[in-house]
Amino acid sequence: MNVSVIIPAYNAAPFLARAIDSVLAQEYPVAQLILVDNNSVDGTLAIMHSYQQRYPQRILVAQCKRQGVSAARNRGLALATGEWVQFLDADDTLDPRKLSAQLALVQPRTEWIIGGYRNAYADGSTLNNIPHPDPWRGLVFGYRAGCTHANLFRRHVLTSGIAWEESLPDNEDPTLCFALLRAGVRWQVIPEVLCTYHHHPTPGRLSLHDAVGGKAREVALLRAINSHLAATAPAYWQEHAAYFQAALLRALRVQATFDLTGATATFQTCFPQGLTGIDWATQQLLPKVFIQAYQLFGFHRSEAIRLTLSQILPSRLLQRLKPRNPQP
């Protein structure tokens, strides 16, 4: 099973060698490593060419003129020849066993492997993210449907009508996962943590940062997922309606932090009758007090109170008031 690895990069000189070295250190031999420069103005392209000169049979350097991580990934995908495709952002890393461990367990009909990953923070702390056994529920909460480099794809799946959405400046991963699930792509969860998502302030990241627009797009995606499941899998959606609606409420709550007016308008559209008709006791994602507050005071007033309190309460107390993530 040949593997093509695709690394898109924009002004990634401080991190790129670390990412490339993690690919070259794989126990499973990588047949093709495609490095895609996305209009970098630092030393990114020079680093790419230096590795290509050292490994001319394995490394291909390409350029993508259209700005954006999805365009750069699709550019690499067009050049890939492996049966499997591994994406890796230029500031993240794969464990040496990433490919060997996943491919050793892959089932013959699997087209999409969903894996675990660790978050590594600037203070040296780490936090593992284990995929949810149900990727639909993993998709709507906690990024538990894998992430770009935690997952692995059969190439034919991403060259037959499903690809990275180039019009999006963010939310690319969950949008792709939604497309895969909606298309019925055969998935397999392998929960072992085999790669690292490195968190650090990087103004030059390929994914653009737009808090207001990004949260609005996240809410729109969750609405689309709810609508799709309610229409195509009504029995499943009804069984888990509280979970999916609570995930939407959590996203609306975050959106309200940046755009209370927009979040309130969306809440009124999504819940025109208020929070009736859902057995919220089974939802797992929001403490009961939040549901009660929305029912008693309404969404806008509840969130306005929260935003006011956030300006005057000590941070330690605010942390205690945040909704807790459910246990895996």
CA nearest neighbour of 9 among 84, 62, 53: 62
Same-domain status, 185 and 119: yes
Please state the domain count of the chain.
Answer: 2
Token readout for 222 is 């969750």
Same-domain status, 158 and 301: no
CA nearest neighbour of 32 among 85, 91, 72, 99: 85
CA dist 8 and 34 (Å) reads 8
CA dist 10 and 276 (Å) reads 47
CA nearest neighbour of 145 among 155, 135, 160: 135
Range of the domain at 113: 3-198
What pLDDT score does 134 carry?
97
What pLDDT score does 309 carry?
81
Residue 328 lies inside a defined structural domain of this protein: no
Beta strands in the chain (DSSP E): 3-9, 32-37, 59-63, 84-87, 93-94, 112-120, 126-129, 152-154, 187-198
CA nearest neighbour of 187 among 161, 227, 150: 150
What pLDDT score does 321 carry?
52
Q: Tell me, rounded to whole angstroms, the distance of Cα 288 from its chain centroid.
A: 27
Tens digit of each residue's pLDDT, the chain (328 residues): 899 999 999 999 999 999 999 999 999 999 999 999 999 999 999 999 999 999 999 999 999 999 999 999 999 999 999 999 999 999 999 999 999 999 999 999 999 999 999 999 999 999 999 999 999 999 999 999 989 999 999 999 998 889 999 999 999 999 999 999 999 999 999 999 999 999 986 554 444 467 888 899 999 999 999 999 999 999 999 999 999 999 999 999 999 999 999 999 999 999 998 898 888 988 989 988 889 999 999 999 999 988 888 777 666 554 555 555 554 4
Tell me the CATH number at 131: 3.90.550.10
CA dist 5 and 281 (Å) reads 44
Token readout for 229 is 């499941």
CA dist 106 and 108 (Å) reads 7
- First-to-last alpha carbon distance for the chain, in angstroms, is 32
CA dist 184 and 195 (Å) reads 26
Judge whether 242 and 279 are in contact, CB under 8 Å: yes
Residue 204 lies inside a defined structural domain of this protein: no
Judge whether 175 and 166 are in contact, CB under 8 Å: no
User: Quick check: helix, strand or coil at residue 23?
Assistant: helix
What pLDDT score does 207 carry?
45
Other beta carbons within 10 Å of 164: 24
Residue 70 lies inside a defined structural domain of this protein: yes
Same-domain status, 261 and 156: no
- Boundary of a domain, candidates 164, 198, 232: 198
The pTM of the full predicted model, rounded to 2 decimals, is 0.91
Same-domain status, 266 and 129: no
Same-domain status, 65 and 156: yes
Whose structure tokens read 């025109």? Answer: 272
- Boundary of a domain, candidates 198, 230, 247: 198
- Annotate 141-153 with DSSP letters as a single string: STT-S--TTT-EE
Same-domain status, 170 and 296: no
Whose structure tokens read 């006011």? Answer: 308
Angle at which helices 211-232 and 172-182 pack, to 10 degrees?
A: 10
What pLDDT score does 130 carry?
96
What pLDDT score does 210 carry?
78
